[in-house]
Amino acid sequence: MVKSFGGITKDEILSLVSSICSTRSSPINKTKNIFWFTNSVTCSATFGKRFKDRDKLIKLLKDIFILVSGFDVADLFPSWKLLHKLSGAESRLMNVYKKLDEIIEDIFKEHLENKATKNKGIGEFGDDDLVDVLLSLMEDAELECPITNNHIKAVILVSLLPSHDLLPPDLF
């Protein structure tokens, strides 16, 4: 089962403090540091400590947030399909989605390989992380409504995107 995030939070706080200490004479952006701290804790709890594409994932999540929260002329005229093609927002969003999907599929493969080799979860201290728990639920044949990879991807996005919801625009 997923255990407390205390160990993850402690490690990320130590990382944040050492990052701040290493920039003694230069000014620091507290908002950006808190943003990265929050996302690091969330990614570690969701994917495990050894998640290698964390920075790439966080950048993609920022891109998604910018794309879906920004103004698009095509939103004013949703029935005008040509306007959607001309604005390019839909194709940009699909490109970001494909990159995000590749990262999450790699995470699934890593977790399934780890489980196949009978290693404990790849979460911090070898405990199961959120992905491990969701993949275990997916394999449970007794569920009334079976869980698919797409359901797990949706849960992951829902757990990661809220940390971007209240960010100041100058952070991007």
- Residue ranges of domains in the chain: 6-171
CATH 1.10.630.10 holds for 6-171 = yes
As given in the structure block, the two tokens for residue 29 are 């952006």
Output the pLDDT for position 101. Answer: 92
Closest CA to 150 of 100, 94, 96: 100
In the predicted model, residues of the chain with pLDDT beneath 70 are: 1-5, 49-51, 119-127, 162-172
What residues contact 110, with CB distance under 8 A and at least 6 apart? Answer: 122
The number of beta carbons lying within 10 Å of the beta carbon of residue 135 is 19
- CB 31 within 8 Å of CB 171: yes
Distance, first Cα to last Cα, the chain: 36
> What pLDDT score does 99 carry?
94
0.95 exceeded by the pTM?
Answer: no
Which residues, including other chains, have CB under 8 Å from residue 68's CB and lie 6 or more apart? 93
pLDDT for the residue numbered 4:
64
Query: Model confidence over 139-148: pLDDT tens digits?
Result: 887 888 888 9
Separation of alpha carbons 122 and 20, rounded Å = 28
What is the C-alpha to C-alpha distance for residues 30 and 80, in angstroms, rounded to an integer?
A: 43
Whether residue 93 contacts residue 64, with contact meaning beta carbons closer than 8 Å, is answered with yes
- The Cα 145–Cα 55 span in angstroms is 34
Task: Assign 12 to helix, strand or coil.
Answer: helix
